[in-house]
């Protein structure tokens, strides 16, 4: 099982497939994922990982491995009972869906709190997306309030995908409006900035303020920030 986990970590370091631009490296990543996909013991290994979710001592490593195995299609791209994406291997897809369903059973406050503190990008992202367990009523939100500082910390993280997810979850909590308002002045991703400003303002005011902020990003000292703003 250790070799299985190592192959997953090499093939999908951030929890999803990304082309590096280096042909040799990408070829090795493909080879590692093919080894996972065609592993004759894959069902046994996934079942063991799901079992390890039950113990607090092994849960976080199991979550890390299962997130990588399940993939973004089955974790985040579902529409009701439908799944958008998947492969041509129905048995493998079914096993990925099983892993995703198992993870959905561990979105409790304690587990999400630990996952938010993870050093692994894909675990932090998973925890951020599931923060609050989609409980939008004020009464059900209350137990999550002590974790808001952790979410605020991720909202200013280096990774844009985590910042975006954190901003969206914070938007479910009325007491975070002031924090999100300050985020507008600091955000450097034009896509995230657009969502932050659009949610908080009337359309006419949004158009004026967004154009002003976009102009400031086009003048930013960071070349990547300028390029992202230009490509919006």
- Specify whether the CB–CB gap between 171 and 141 falls below 8 A: no
**Degrees (nearest 5) of the Cα angle 32, 33, 38?**
105
Give the residue from 149, 186, 187, 151 showing the smallest Cα distance to 168: 151
2-47 pLDDT, tens per residue?
888 898 888 887 777 777 778 898 899 889 989 998 999 999 999 9
Q: What is the pLDDT of residue 86?
A: 55
- Mean of pLDDT over the chain: 87
DSSP symbols for 65-104: HHHHHHHHHHHH-EETTEES---S-HHHHHHHHHHHHHHH
**Degrees (nearest 5) of the Cα angle 134, 49, 70?**
55
Q: What is the pLDDT of residue 81?
A: 42
Q: Report d(CA 120, CA 128) in Å as an integer.
A: 12
What pTM does this model have? 0.85
DSSP symbols for 183-214: HHHH---HHHHHHHHHHHS-HHHHHHHHHHHH
DSSP symbols for 17-66: ----S-HHHHHHHHHHHHHHHT-TTHHHHHHHHHHHTTSHHHHHHHHHHH
């Amino acid at each position: 099982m250790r070799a299985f986990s190592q192959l997953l970590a090499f093939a999908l370091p951030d929890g999803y497939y990304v082309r590096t631009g280096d042909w040799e490296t990408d070829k090795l990543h493909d080879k590692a994922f093919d080894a996972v996909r065609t592993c004759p013991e894959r069902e046994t290994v996934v079942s063991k990982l799901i079992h390890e979710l039950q113990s607090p001592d092994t849960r976080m490593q199991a979550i890390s491995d299962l997130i990588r195995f399940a993939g973004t299609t089955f974790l985040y791209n579902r529409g009701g009972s439908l799944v958008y994406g998947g492969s041509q291997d129905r048995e493998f897809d079914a096993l990925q869906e099983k892993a995703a369903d198992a993870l959905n059973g561990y979105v409790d406050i304690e587990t999400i709190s630990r996952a938010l503190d993870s050093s692994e990008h894909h675990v932090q992202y998973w925890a951020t997306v599931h923060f609050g367990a989609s409980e939008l009523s004020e009464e059900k939100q209350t137990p999550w309030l002590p974790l808001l500082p952790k979410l605020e910390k991720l909202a200013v993280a280096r990774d844009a995908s985590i910042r975006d997810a954190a901003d969206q979850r914070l938007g479910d909590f009325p007491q975070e409006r002031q924090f999100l308002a300050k985020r507008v002045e600091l955000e450097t991703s034009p896509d995230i900035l657009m969502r932050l400003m659009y949610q908080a303002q009337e359309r006419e005011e949004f158009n004026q303020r967004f154009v002003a902020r976009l102009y400031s990003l086009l003048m930013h000292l960071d070349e990547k920030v300028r390029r992202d703003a230009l490509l919006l």
